[in-house]
């Protein structure tokens, strides 16, 4: 039997202290529906990890997190937020940034008071390029092929030959951030070491700023209100009950389907129902390790079963008909407007997005952890990689790099500060109004000018669970995550290095996702999966496993 590698924060730190080559494998973490960045350092000298200096004065959480990585939750914004910075970080120059967005593009700077205020506060003329998430990989590939590289570039699905790309075009931040040097940027120092170690430590240096992910936020979301309106209970304890509920809420005649989608259409990551079924069956999170041997979820026989289950869901008409042609934003939208009742839409976090897009004041979002597929299934949630994405900084002279780091530092101001409130919600009276308890209630102007802006994808503090105005949904989210965090399973390859992985993983993963999608659509028989697995093994899968084994052995 495979051994589930339950990675918690302490084991990361232990591994780091033991001097293991903390290098990342895998470009994609399945459960989140879109890839996440992982780090990889070359052999040889490596820079010291930026020292973790927790910023003092963290406000007490309404619902505390835990050591397994559950984030602190806040039901309202801490009272009287203080300004933690003084002066202006920028030097008045143009600063370009390219980030992805799951939301509609924001209005241009001339008609966007948030943007104008951002420029004033940061002291730069910020030129943001927000790229729709579905197009980000292709946009990134063409921008990287040009000589016109933005100052800040978000990397989420890692491009091929990523370490070489970083070395050629991006600044090694080690001279500015390694060890105690990071203290000059106190909010970047407030990012725990394992985020750096698992995402940006390439080529022996530090090639970016980690954007922390929520450890586990993409459980199966459920429109509780729709389920209850039909006189049903939005919860289940095993997979058969899930299917029963899905059939009961499925109503295609009125354009309402049970499930948003089965597999991520753009990068074919096993998000959606596929991810949920895999977790219900207890399939390992991408890589599993037993006695030093590594094996991928592709070769697990249960993965084939999960694909067959998804194909059946599609065949039974329980999945929204545009599941294979939509994008993440469509799935969130479909749930928000009631076209779909259950789903794992992917992206960094869907909860606030549902409420931004919904027109129904009755909407309530609940959810479910993975439930046993069969009586003896070891259902476990999949943890995401620690970093959602990383932000590379373009090569430049040291003065400019310092200025850009000051800007990033400002954006990473911790939760509870006045800066955080501005970055995330804008200015009072324009983008939000205080409710009775002083919580920022976002206005329509705030929604349109800020939601898709993307500043938190340049730099952000460690995550908390907080969305103004939906305290109940946040409470429910915290509860569901708490229930799955302890037994959740990490990717066994995290912190290990495989060169083949860096070069080939994304493409191999896409090929496998295509094979799975063809079966789920009913275009190909399930038997084609075995051929796909055989191809995957010969085209690099086995090689990656061997390299991970070597890396694992070396780290012992």
Q: Which of 16, 59, 107, 160 binds another protein (CB under 8 A)?
A: 160
Q: Which of 64, 111, 252, 438 binds another protein (CB under 8 A)?
A: 252
Instruction: State both tokens at 165.
Output: 């790309």
From the list 302, 23, 270, 359, the residue with the least C-alpha distance to 162 is 23
**What torsion, rounded to 10 degrees, do the Cα atoms 265, 266, 268, 269 define?**
-110
Query: Which residues within the stretch 450-479 sit at the binding site for another protein (CB under 8 A)?
Result: none
81 three-state secondary structure: coil
CB 343 within 8 A of CB 331: yes
How many residues interact with another protein (rule CB under 8 A)? 37
Q: Phi, psi (5° rounding) for residue 411?
A: -70, -20
Closer CB to another protein, 80 or 142, in the complex: 142
Query: Which residues within the stretch 309-338 sit at the binding site for another protein (CB under 8 A)?
Result: 320-325
Whether the CA torsion 349, 350, 356, 361 is positive or negative: it is negative
Nearest approach, Cβ of 145 to another protein (angstroms)? 3
From the list 398, 396, 390, 410, the residue with the least C-alpha distance to 175 is 398
Query: Any contact of residue 144 with another protein (CB under 8 A)?
Result: yes
Closer CB to another protein, 93 or 138, in the complex: 138
Q: x/- string (CB under 8 A) for another protein, residues 392-411?
A: --------------------
CB 4 within 8 A of CB 290: no
Q: Fill in the DSSP letter of residue 291.
A: T
Nearest approach, Cβ of 56 to another protein (angstroms)? 41
Beta-ladder partners of 222: 342, 366
Please spell the DSSP secondary structure of 376-413, one letter per residue.
T----PBPPPSEEEEEEEB---HHHHHHHHHHHHHHTP
Sheet holding 257-259, edge to edge: 257-259, 340-343, 220-223, 365-368
How many residues belong to the chain? 556
CB 30 within 8 A of CB 275: yes
Q: Phi, psi (5° rounding) for residue 547?
A: -65, -35
C-alpha 467, offset from chain centre = 17
Closer CB to another protein, 157 or 198, in the complex: 157
Closer CB to another protein, 337 or 445, in the complex: 337
Query: Any contact of residue 524 with another protein (CB under 8 A)?
Result: yes
C-alpha 256, offset from chain centre = 28
Closer CB to another protein, 58 or 394, in the complex: 394
Q: x/- string (CB under 8 A) for another protein, residues 479-518?
A: ---------------------------xx--xx--x--xx
Query: Any contact of residue 109 with another protein (CB under 8 A)?
Result: no
Q: Which of 80, 94, 110, 142 binds another protein (CB under 8 A)?
A: 142
Closer CB to another protein, 138 or 433, in the complex: 138
Q: Which of 58, 113, 169, 475 binds another protein (CB under 8 A)?
A: 169
Query: Any contact of residue 159 with another protein (CB under 8 A)?
Result: yes
Beta-ladder partners of 523: none
Query: Any contact of residue 530 with another protein (CB under 8 A)?
Result: no
Q: Which stretch binds another protein (CB under 8 A): 161-169, 229-237, 299-307, 342-350?
A: 161-169
Q: x/- string (CB under 8 A) for another protein, residues 196-235?
A: ----------------------------------------
Nearest approach, Cβ of 159 to another protein (angstroms)? 6
CA atoms within 13 A on the CB side of 474: 21
Q: Which stretch binds another protein (CB under 8 A): 208-216, 235-243, 484-492, 519-527?
A: 519-527
User: Residues interacting with another protein, by CB under 8 A?
Assistant: 137-138, 141-142, 144-146, 159-161, 164-165, 168-169, 252-253, 255, 265-266, 320-325, 339, 506-507, 510-511, 514, 517-518, 521, 523-524, 535
């Amino acid at each position: 039997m495979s051994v589930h590698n339950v990675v918690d924060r302490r084991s990361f730190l232990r591994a780091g202290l033991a001097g293991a080559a903390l290098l990342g494998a895998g470009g994609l973490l399945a459960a989140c529906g879109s890839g996440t960045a992982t780090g990889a350092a070359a052999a040889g000298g490596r820079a010291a990890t930026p020292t973790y200096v927790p910023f003092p004065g963290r406000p007490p959480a309404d619902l505390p997190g835990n050591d397994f990585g559950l984030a602190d939750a806040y039901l309202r914004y801490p009272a009287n937020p203080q300004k933690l910075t003084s002066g202006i970080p920028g030097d008045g120059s143009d600063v370009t940034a390219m980030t992805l967005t799951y939301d509609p593009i924001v209005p241009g700077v001339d008609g966007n008071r948030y943007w104008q205020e951002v420029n004033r506060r940061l002291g730069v003329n910020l030129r943001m390029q927000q790229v729709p998430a579905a197009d980000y990989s292709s946009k990134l590939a063409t921008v990287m092929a040009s000589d016109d590289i933005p100052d800040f570039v978000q990397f989420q699905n890692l491009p091929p030959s990523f370490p070489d790309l970083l070395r050629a075009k991006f600044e090694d931040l080690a001279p500015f951030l390694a060890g105690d040097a990071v203290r000059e940027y106190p909010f970047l120092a407030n990012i725990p070491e394992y985020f750096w170690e698992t995402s940006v430590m390439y080529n022996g240096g530090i090639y970016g700023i980690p954007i922390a992910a929520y450890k586990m936020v993409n459980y199966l979301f459920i429109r509780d209100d729709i389920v209850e309106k039909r006189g049903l209970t939005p919860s289940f304890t095993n997979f058969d009950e899930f299917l029963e509920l899905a059939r009961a809420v499925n109503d295609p005649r009125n354009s309402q389907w049970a499930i948003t989608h089965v597999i991520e259409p753009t990068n074919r990551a096993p998000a959606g129902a596929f991810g949920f079924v895999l977790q219900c069956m207890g399939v390992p999170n991408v890589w599993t390790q037993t006695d030093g041997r590594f094996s991928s979820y592709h070769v697990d026989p249960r993965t084939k079963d999960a694909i067959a289950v998804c194909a059946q869901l599609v065949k039974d008409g329980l999945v929204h008909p545009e599941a294979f042609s939509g994008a993440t934003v469509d799935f969130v939208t479909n749930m928000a407007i009631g076209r779909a009742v259950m789903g794992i839409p992917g992206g960094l976090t869907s909860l606030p997005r549902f409420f931004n897009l919904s027109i129904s004041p009755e909407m309530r979002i609940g959810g479910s952890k993975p439930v046993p597929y069969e009586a003896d299934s070891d259902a476990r949630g999949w943890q995401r990689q620690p970093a959602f994405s990383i932000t590379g900084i373009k090569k430049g002279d040291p003065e400019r790099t310092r200025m850009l780091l000051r800007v990033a530092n400002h954006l990473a101001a911790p939760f509870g500060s006045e800066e955080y409130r501005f970055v995330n919600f804008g200015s009072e009276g324009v983008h939000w109004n205080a409710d009775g308890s002083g919580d920022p209630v976002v206005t329509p102007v705030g929604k349109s000018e800020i939601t898709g802006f993307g500043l938190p994808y340049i730099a952000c503090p460690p995550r908390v669970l907080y969305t103004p105005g939906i305290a109940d949904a946040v409470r429910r989210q915290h509860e569901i995550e708490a229930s799955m965090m302890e037994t959740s399973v990490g990717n066994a390859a995290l912190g290990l290095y495989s060169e083949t992985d860096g070069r080939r993983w994304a493409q191999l993963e896409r090929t496998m996702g295509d094979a799975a999608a063809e079966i789920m659509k009913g275009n190909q028989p399930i038997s084609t999966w075995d051929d796909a697995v055989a191809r995957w093994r010969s085209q690099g899968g086995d090689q990656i496993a061997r390299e991970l084994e070597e890396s694992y052995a070396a780290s012992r």
